[in-house]
A and B are shown apart, each in its own frame.
Chain A
Amino acid sequence: MTHPADIAPRVPRPFVARALAHPSFLLGGAIALVVAAMALLSFVWTPHEAGAIEIARKLRPPSTEHWFGTDQFGRDVLSMIMRGAVTSMAVSFVAVGIGVGLGVPLGLLAAARRGVLGEAVMRANDFVFAFPALIIAIMLRDVFGPGAVNAMVAIGIFNVPVFARLAYGAALPLWTREFVMAARVAGKGGALITLEHILPNMLNLLIVQATVQLSLGILAEAALSYVGLGVQPPQPSWGRMLNEAQTLMALAPRLALIPGTAIVLTVLGLNLLGDGLRDLLDPRLARER
């Protein structure tokens, strides 16, 4: 039975159609895909063995054999970039994983149990947030020594309060919404409501934030490796390539420019992707577009 005065509201356009019409989502997605494809490809094939030293062919300019040339130890730069993409992606993925895995439950817990427990959780987060990833990495190095795992943990710890705050901030208004009230009247407890109503309704926000943190993670990994706190030789890393190119800036600027461009492009791509996702996933904007 339908009611005459009830007019069905307009249905928003399907997600895929909107995604394909969104320039920054497409561009960002394409860049991210290229970097990911490059990283995956490097597991089975690189033009030359990545990191293989051959002093005889050091500092060769770009050629058909070495597309990006070779560095001061005769290593093929393209192969290093491809392998470096693996390092960058692995470190920042694990770091975002740590941030989401610890931060989101903490934020949800603080929002569900307000009062002393919630305050304690959020203030502890503020405390951690006061330390930049670099400081955490230095502390970790003093305890465990430098390495890729420490970089992941350091950036991950830095990500925890980011996600905790986001989850907390998104959950608080959801808890006052009428559908959550209705769920409480339906006899559901805090944990169940969080799982069924709170978490799914903030998923969009989390995805967008994760994309942004991924790009920050890549930047942070490069920074840590640049100062020698991250990935150790001979494992290739964009940040360390920058570091090693530093003394050769006058002689072969491309050795700095190529990894630098790789970092900039990847970060830009992920940020565009995050922007695009935010536009696409935000239901208020979804109707406009």
Chain B
Amino acid sequence: MALLDIRNLDLNIYGVPVLRGVSLSIAAGETLGLVGESGSGKSMTALATMQLLPRGASARGSIRLDGEELIGRDERAMCALRGRDISMVFQEPMTALNPLKTVGAQVSEVFRLHLGAPRAECDAWASQVLERVGLPPARYAPDRYPHELSGGQRQRVVIAMAVALKPKLLIADEPTTALDVTTQAQILTLMRALVAEDGASLLLITHDLAVVAETADRVAVMRRGEVVEEGETAAFFGGMTHPYSRALLEASTHVPQRRPRVAPGTVPGTAPAAREGGPILVADGVVREYRGRRAGWFRPAGCHRAVDAVTLSVAPGESVGLVGESGCGKSTLARTLLALEAPQGGRILFRGRDVSSLDAAGIARLRRDVQVVFQDPYGSFDPRHKAGRLVAEPLHLLRGEIDAAERDRRIARVLSDVGLRPEDAEKYPHEFSGGQRQRLAIARALITRPALIVLDEPVSALDVSIRAQVLDLLAELQARHALAYLFISHDLAVVRAITDRVLVMRAGIIVEQGPTAAVLDAPQHDYTRTLVAASPDLARALAERRTRAMPAANGRSADAAVPSA
């Protein structure tokens, strides 16, 4: 019998259907990967299982754990169950932990609440659990507060709380989405090990098919509140039948069609700047420092060097990638290159001229030629302005040169360039979806007909299928307008798909650079190697799964079920 058996679960929130006839089951010791895009109902399924639904929710159907019905069970009974039989790991470890309590106390609390044991005993158990998740108390004192730990360490604490009582079912809702790739790999390894040791079942919710391929025994795909396909992992990837699953797989591994670079000057009327020779933008030993808090009255403040002697150049029509983990200085470098912040050392050259020596007209020229697209499709627009006005904002740089009619023509043109309609100019940003907003952001960057666009994590906040569409759009625009891109991302797959050259950045320093394929296929620097190895890769995960399955064919039931894979 299945450990968790969800049958025909319908969920309405204030009358709006969120889940429709969801049926899932997880056997004891099995890992089910629940995949889907945002809003597909993955998290709601998990919350329904925990009976932690938001206000206004009403669930019908059946959720059985070990044969016992959970729907309609009273809150007190659920409290005893939560943490002991079912527990949950959340996406954002900072908000999942209480900032005012030490991590040791928070883990210890799980034991006290459920077992009512004396404090000293609970503390001792807590130390053991922290040791299990790779935070041995000898090295990581349990009397630290969450803010004193790194993101990965915090997630380990959350996991420690979840596995403290060896629950039968562990639910992990996007447990690694907020983490860097190298940390993600460690956390996934840890979770796999813990679940295997305890013989627990794992419901792993994620949007990343590669993560599922690495970890799950079975996969279920959700879309708009329904499970559209379900199957054993290898078989699922081998022969998915539902068109949505296929679309999801296609989008996850999507490589946009990039036409060969347009020879400068062959497309009349586009990007006249591209015809001028020489790089558009050069950073020459750029240093960017932030001053820390002063240590005392007479001691000078310490410095944090966010960007350390970085040298790079972007030529017309070229696509340069900049990869690195969060906090490595990528975005700071981008702001410095955009002349939004002044460097403390080194020079930035725009078409051969030092940016710090440019007058107002020179800066305006720079802004016309170098535009930007930011990561957050929600934060990059003033919510009070209509799309047309937002998109036309950079035309401020051309004031006096173009009249209102030309302005309107350009708005209509860039909107259709990015796949929106000219009528969309009359809408407000909140009327667009995330993907459409990112198209708007690209339209805004295009309107001055720049030579270079700095793209700061432009697809990181998007679902895979929309990400694929936006990448296609970027590739197409680059070919059509002979654009150069500086593409900043933490996602190696995306960088591989869209760039010619790549620079790998770590702690403010460029550790390796070269042609994208060469760097990512045969990394020279240790850090690049770690990064490449840690990045989830669907093809690699499936290959590993096949080799693992062969000797272990008579081992775990889930693997044995598909000798044909």
To the question of whether A and B form a pair in one complex, the answer is yes
Choose from B37, B376, B463, B466 the contact partner of A178 (Cβ within 8 Å). Answer: B376
Q: Which of A181-189, A252-260, A273-281 contacts its partner?
A: A181-189
Say yes or no: is B374 at the interface (Cβ < 8 Å to chain A): yes
Contact between B372 and A9 (Cβ–Cβ < 8 Å)?
no
Closest chain B CB from A207 CB (angstroms): 14
Residues in A with CB closer than 8 Å to B364 are 187
Say yes or no: is A200 at the interface (Cβ < 8 Å to chain B): yes
12 inter-chain pairs at a CB distance below 8 angstroms, sorted by A residue, are A3-B419, A3-B433, A6-B466, A8-B433, A11-B430, A181-B340, A181-B380, A185-B371, A185-B394, A186-B396, A186-B444, A187-B396
Residues in B with CB closer than 8 Å to A3 are 419, 433, 435-436, 466, 469
Provide the bound-state CA to CA distance between A188 and B444, in Å: 14
Residues in B with CB closer than 8 Å to A9 are 430-431, 433
Closest chain A CB from B395 CB (angstroms): 8
Provide the bound-state CA to CA distance between A182 and B39, in Å: 29
Provide the bound-state CA to CA distance between A24 and B198, in Å: 54
Residues in A with CB closer than 8 Å to B435 are 3, 5-6
Task: With CB as the reference atom, state the residue of chain A lying closest to B435.
Answer: A6
How many residues of chain A have a CB within 8 Å of chain B?
25
Residues in B with CB closer than 8 Å to A188 are 393, 396
Provide the bound-state CA to CA distance between A11 and B434, in Å: 15
Say yes or no: is A60 at the interface (Cβ < 8 Å to chain B): no
Provide the bound-state CA to CA distance between A185 and B463, in Å: 27
Choose from A5, A6, A184, A200 the contact partner of B340 (Cβ within 8 Å). Answer: A184
Contact between B465 and A5 (Cβ–Cβ < 8 Å)?
yes
Residues in A with CB closer than 8 Å to B381 are 179, 182
Contact between A182 and B436 (Cβ–Cβ < 8 Å)?
no
Say yes or no: is B148 at the interface (Cβ < 8 Å to chain A): no
Closest chain B CB from A185 CB (angstroms): 5
Residues in B with CB closer than 8 Å to A235 are none
**A residues 1-28 with Cβ under 8 Å of B?**
1, 3, 5-9, 11
Closest chain A CB from B254 CB (angstroms): 13
Residues on A facing B (Cβ under 8 Å):
1, 3, 5-9, 11, 177-179, 181-188, 192, 196-197, 200-201, 283
Choose from B367, B375, B436 the contact partner of A186 (Cβ within 8 Å). Answer: B367
Provide the bound-state CA to CA distance between A201 and B384, in Å: 8
Contact between B393 and A6 (Cβ–Cβ < 8 Å)?
no
Residues on B facing A (Cβ under 8 Å):
37, 39, 335, 338, 340, 363-364, 367-368, 370-372, 374-376, 379-384, 390, 393-397, 419-421, 430-436, 441, 444, 463, 465-466, 469
Contact between B431 and A178 (Cβ–Cβ < 8 Å)?
no
Residues in A with CB closer than 8 Å to B376 are 178
Task: With CB as the reference atom, state the residue of chain B lying closest to A1.
Answer: B419
Task: With CB as the reference atom, state the residue of chain B lying closest to A180.
Answer: B382
Residues in B with CB closer than 8 Å to A179 are 379-382, 390
Contact between A7 and B379 (Cβ–Cβ < 8 Å)?
no
Task: With CB as the reference atom, state the residue of chain B lying closest to A9.
Answer: B430
A178 in contact with B374 given A1-B421, A187-B364 (CB within 8 Å): yes
Residues in A with CB closer than 8 Å to B390 are 179
Contact between B384 and A182 (Cβ–Cβ < 8 Å)?
no
Closest chain B CB from A286 CB (angstroms): 11
Residues in B with CB closer than 8 Å to A185 are 338, 340, 367, 370-372, 394
Residues in A with CB closer than 8 Å to B434 are 6
Contact between B374 and A11 (Cβ–Cβ < 8 Å)?
no
Residues in A with CB closer than 8 Å to B465 are 5
A201 in contact with B419 given A5-B37, A5-B465, A186-B393 (CB within 8 Å): no
Residues in A with CB closer than 8 Å to B363 are 187
Closest chain B CB from A192 CB (angstroms): 8
Provide the bound-state CA to CA distance between A179 and B389, in Å: 13
Contact between B380 and A178 (Cβ–Cβ < 8 Å)?
yes
Task: With CB as the reference atom, state the residue of chain A lying closest to B454.
Answer: A185
A181 in contact with B436 given A1-B421, A3-B469 (CB within 8 Å): no
Task: With CB as the reference atom, state the residue of chain B lying closest to A4.
Answer: B465
Provide the bound-state CA to CA distance between A182 and B373, in Å: 8
Closest chain A CB from B302 CB (angstroms): 20
Provide the bound-state CA to CA distance between A179 and B469, in Å: 23
Residues in A with CB closer than 8 Å to B371 are 185
Contact between B39 and A187 (Cβ–Cβ < 8 Å)?
no
Provide the bound-state CA to CA distance between A230 and B463, in Å: 63
Residues in A with CB closer than 8 Å to B430 are 9, 11
Provide the bound-state CA to CA distance between A181 and B431, in Å: 22
Provide the bound-state CA to CA distance between A269 and B74, in Å: 42
Provide the bound-state CA to CA distance between A11 and B428, in Å: 11
Contact between B466 and A5 (Cβ–Cβ < 8 Å)?
yes
A182 in contact with B466 given A3-B435, A5-B435, A7-B39 (CB within 8 Å): no
Contact between A182 and B372 (Cβ–Cβ < 8 Å)?
yes
Residues in B with CB closer than 8 Å to A182 are 372, 374, 380-381, 393, 441, 444
Residues in A with CB closer than 8 Å to B433 are 3, 6-9
Provide the bound-state CA to CA distance between A283 and B430, in Å: 11
Residues in B with CB closer than 8 Å to A5 are 37, 435, 463, 465-466
Provide the bound-state CA to CA distance between A228 and B337, in Å: 62
Provide the bound-state CA to CA distance between A145 and B466, in Å: 70
A187 in contact with B367 given A1-B421, A7-B433 (CB within 8 Å): yes
Provide the bound-state CA to CA distance between A180 and B10, in Å: 43
Residues in A with CB closer than 8 Å to B420 are 1
Provide the bound-state CA to CA distance between A3 and B247, in Å: 14
Contact between A197 and B397 (Cβ–Cβ < 8 Å)?
no
Residues in A with CB closer than 8 Å to B421 are 1
Closest chain A CB from B379 CB (angstroms): 4
Closest chain A CB from B298 CB (angstroms): 20
A187 in contact with B372 given A3-B436, A8-B433, A179-B381 (CB within 8 Å): no
